[in-house]
Amino acid sequence: MSAALDDPDLAEAIRMLRDSAAGIAPREGDRRRIRALRFQSPGFDPAIWRQMGELGWIGLRLPEEQGGAGLGMQAFCALAEELGAALAPEPLVAGALSARVLAAAGAVAPLGRLLAGEALILTAWQERANSLDAPGAADAPRLFLPMADGAEAFILPQRATGGFDLYLQPAQGASLVLEPTQDGGSYGTLRAGNGQHVGSVSAAVLEEALDEAVLATAATLLGVADQAFALTLDYLRTRQQFGKPIGSFQALQHRAAELKVQLALTRASVEAAAVLCDRLGAPAAARRGAIARAKARAADTALLVTRQAVQLHGGIGYTDEADIGLYLRRAMVLANQFGSAALHRRRFATAQPEAES
């Protein structure tokens, strides 16, 4: 990310992250792996998840003394962007959220398994659709757990004095209902059970961890849109009609130019929010507003770019065999994850008066 170039060490770390992501989930891959995992259990490759753990990706945001890499949101967003561009189904953002929560609670044993990629542990915080609030009700169903079929356990935050008590619910024996998603993955709904108490966290810790998941999801959407646009440009250059590439038609050039502008604005929003998150002493309201702006713009842009990309591919773009459709499906799922564009526009509007006061 361009903002990281002010720090040569961080810039080099980000370059290495992008290179390592290309080794596991290349942007220019043939997407056969993605197709093979669609609508199958658990929807991702446990071996790839273990590799992500071995590379330190799950604990990228954690300090080294807690088993992490000690890198900031600029690095994590760069990684999330690459995985979005490759359509990697492994739930890295959800895993990183759980790592932040378990580390703050001092839950060493489950944290170690999660960071090593030996297990997927999901934080079951959401109790209603299109919300970033975590009520922490003891008996409420927990919603929209990504790739829940592959989880070893779930973290159930329950409201307590000053924050949340965390309970670790093993997946085995848990009341879990799975629903398929457009992109071939699944969401789980978990009925609260009898978990083991593994620690407590403050409300501020959970809120910050969720905000980071929001921004990483925005970066993932940026990667989805960016690669969909790249595939579309390549198609416009090679598809012939009336003896010339269709990319030479002015009407299609105008549409492509507008999409490129929206991508550039989205990248600027994601980068600005990541830089603000990594800045010590940044006001909480300004940070929250920047993250909300990035997610709202990323969701809108990803849906715009992928829909336009399908149209620009012509009739073949609407077939399931065309890879461009995979990007639209992923954008449709991620756009509302950790809050819709409408929710984040409201969060941005609410944060502005606080940031200016």
Averages of pLDDT over each 10 residues, the chain, 357 residues: 59 91 87 95 97 97 94 97 97 98 97 98 97 93 97 96 95 94 96 88 96 98 97 82 63 86 98 95 94 98 97 89 95 98 96 65
Q: What is the pLDDT of residue 9?
A: 83
Report yes or no: 289 and 347 within 8 Å, Cβ to Cβ. yes
**Which segments of 25-106 does DSSP mark as H helices, in order?**
32-37, 46-54, 73-85, 92-105
Asked whether residue 48 is assigned to any structural domain, the reply reads no
What CATH number is given to the structural domain containing 283?
A: 1.20.140.10
Q: What is the pLDDT of residue 6?
A: 56
**Which segments of the chain does DSSP mark as H helices, in order?**
8-24, 32-37, 46-54, 73-85, 92-105, 108-115, 203-238, 250-278, 284-312, 324-334, 341-356
Q: What is the pLDDT of residue 5?
A: 42
Q: What is the pLDDT of residue 243?
A: 65
Asked whether residue 304 is assigned to any structural domain, the reply reads yes
Report in angstroms the alpha-carbon separations of 225 from 44, 81, 97, 210.
Answer: 21, 10, 23, 23
Backbone angles phi, psi at 73, to 5 degrees: -70, -25
Backbone angles phi, psi at 299, to 5 degrees: -65, -45
Asked whether residue 256 is assigned to any structural domain, the reply reads yes
Asked whether residue 23 is assigned to any structural domain, the reply reads no
For the entire predicted model, the pTM comes to 0.94
Distance between CA atoms of residues 111 and 102, nearest Å: 6
Whole domain around residue 315: which residue ranges?
A: 205-356
Q: What is the pLDDT of residue 229?
A: 96
Distance between CA atoms of residues 320 and 236, nearest Å: 19
Domain count, the chain: 1
SS3 159: strand
Asked whether residue 265 is assigned to any structural domain, the reply reads yes
User: How many Cβ atoms are within 10 Å of 172's Cβ, its own excluded?
Assistant: 7
Distance between CA atoms of residues 55 and 223, nearest Å: 20
Asked whether residue 324 is assigned to any structural domain, the reply reads yes
User: How many Cβ atoms are within 10 Å of 319's Cβ, its own excluded?
Assistant: 11
The identity of residue 135, as a single letter, is: P
Asked whether residue 163 is assigned to any structural domain, the reply reads no
C-alpha closest to that of 305 among 52, 38, 46, 84: 84
Asked whether residue 282 is assigned to any structural domain, the reply reads yes
CB proximity list for 212: less than 8 A, separation 6 or greater: 61, 73, 76, 96, 97, 100, 277
Q: What is the pLDDT of residue 38?
A: 96
SS3 65: helix
Distance between CA atoms of residues 213 and 209, nearest Å: 6
Each residue of 4-34: pLDDT tens digit? 445 788 889 899 999 999 989 898 888 999 9
